[in-house]
Amino acid sequence: MVKQQYITLYQQYAHIIKEKSAPLLNSIRDAAFKRFEELGFPVKRDKDYEYIDIQSSYDHDFGLNLNRVSLDVDPYKVFTCDVPNIQSYLCFIVNDTFYANPEPKISLPKGVIVASLNEICTTHPDLVKPYLFKNMDWENDPNQAFNATFAQDGLFIYVPKNVVVDVPIQLVNLMHGNDDLLAVNHNLIIVEEGASVKLLVCDHASNEKKYLANRLTEIFVGKNASYEHYKIENTHNQTMNLGTVLVHQDDDSRFLSNTLTLHNGITRNNITVHVDGQNAEAIVGGLAIGDKTQKIDNYVSMNHLKPNSTSLQLFKYILDDQAKGVFTGKIIIKEDAQKIAAFQTCKTICLTNTATINTKPQLEIFADDVKCSHGATVGQLDETALFYLRSRGIPINEAKLLLMYAFVHDVLEHISVDAVKDRIRLLVEKRLRGELSKCNGCVICK
């Protein structure tokens, strides 16, 4: 049984995992393991996982770097995935290990920390302690229990009160190895009151090995703070990417996430937002372009705990061949959370009749003075628009491309960094043209 494999693994190697991790990271490890033992992996009979098989992805002989063996190469020298024309503060997580940037091109404002979570747990435990694991629900969520059992490192970002970081921080998650690998990591991002930061996450794989990544990110957005999270996945058909983003928002805060899946194998993105403050805004957007047998499952849980806030979920899918898309959008409004405006839209274009999409809006509203809506459409390209473009001399393939590009443009409009937006537009265009089998401009991918 798949589960047993990992139970045995932990029982055998728990001492090594703990020895190589900061005490703070070990603080819930055994308890989380116990829960994992009971819960196992999510299976298809779980309502939240009914369209995707997570468990069988683990059923493969993956290597884990429990001993924290470091790479024989410096990722900053070997891999230049500095997305062209983007000024960013670059850092790497290779497999599951954070590699601090030895010579950053950009200097960060005073007090801002970008570091290894494992290190920070040792050097600044008091800074981490009030936040670490606080957004998690590892007692009930099997993925999170698994993550807390095995995670040994990750990215840590701290932006102190009233500090604005203009230049985006860029995290490249790179899967790299001579063997098939499983990476488990835990990121923690703290944006204090009045502070602001943007993170651009790029998921890559350096070769055609089989990879499985279980990455969890806890984000705390303080009062009147702003945090933007852009995730671009550009891996390959042999990867399974399981990403969990857990957000906590205070009064007057702003959270924006945009999850762009351009190339992948199997991807599941869990985004859970707790809007635990008034006058806060949460925007969760996403775009998925799939072909062959790619599977993209986006799961959003938007929880409004306090009154007077707004949220938007906006997802677009373009699916070709036998690609499969899933969207689950929850909106949960607590009893006293009045005057909430929460909206949700999921639109899909299926280019073939073998591509499939399952969309599932789930609204649980316990307050009586709220404005909520959800909508989903599935269709093909608009024939009238297609004819209009062709009647101006634009060939059918080019016209289709223009329409697909137009279909996704409003998701891209939510990207606030112009350079990132331009770059992503280009990547999307290339992807739609079928030119993008790998990230362009990326030495690792050539």
The site for other proteins (CB under 8 A) is made up of 382-385, 387-396, 398-399, 402-403, 405-410
- Output the smallest distance, CB 397 to other proteins, in A: 10
- Output the smallest distance, CB 227 to other proteins, in A: 27
Nearer to other proteins, 178 or 384 (CB): 384
Instruction: Tell whether the torsion through CA atoms of 426, 432, 435 and 440 is positive or negative.
Output: positive
- Output the smallest distance, CB 175 to other proteins, in A: 33
- Output the smallest distance, CB 349 to other proteins, in A: 12
- Output the smallest distance, CB 288 to other proteins, in A: 17
Nearer to other proteins, 351 or 403 (CB): 403
Nearer to other proteins, 166 or 382 (CB): 382
Residues 6+ apart with CB under 8 A from 414: 256, 258, 283, 285, 314
Nearer to other proteins, 16 or 385 (CB): 385
- Output the smallest distance, CB 35 to other proteins, in A: 45
Nearer to other proteins, 119 or 429 (CB): 429
Nearer to other proteins, 178 or 397 (CB): 397
- Output the smallest distance, CB 327 to other proteins, in A: 20
Helical axes 142-150 vs 29-39, angle rounded to 10°: 140
- Output the smallest distance, CB 89 to other proteins, in A: 32
Nearer to other proteins, 16 or 406 (CB): 406
Nearer to other proteins, 6 or 317 (CB): 317
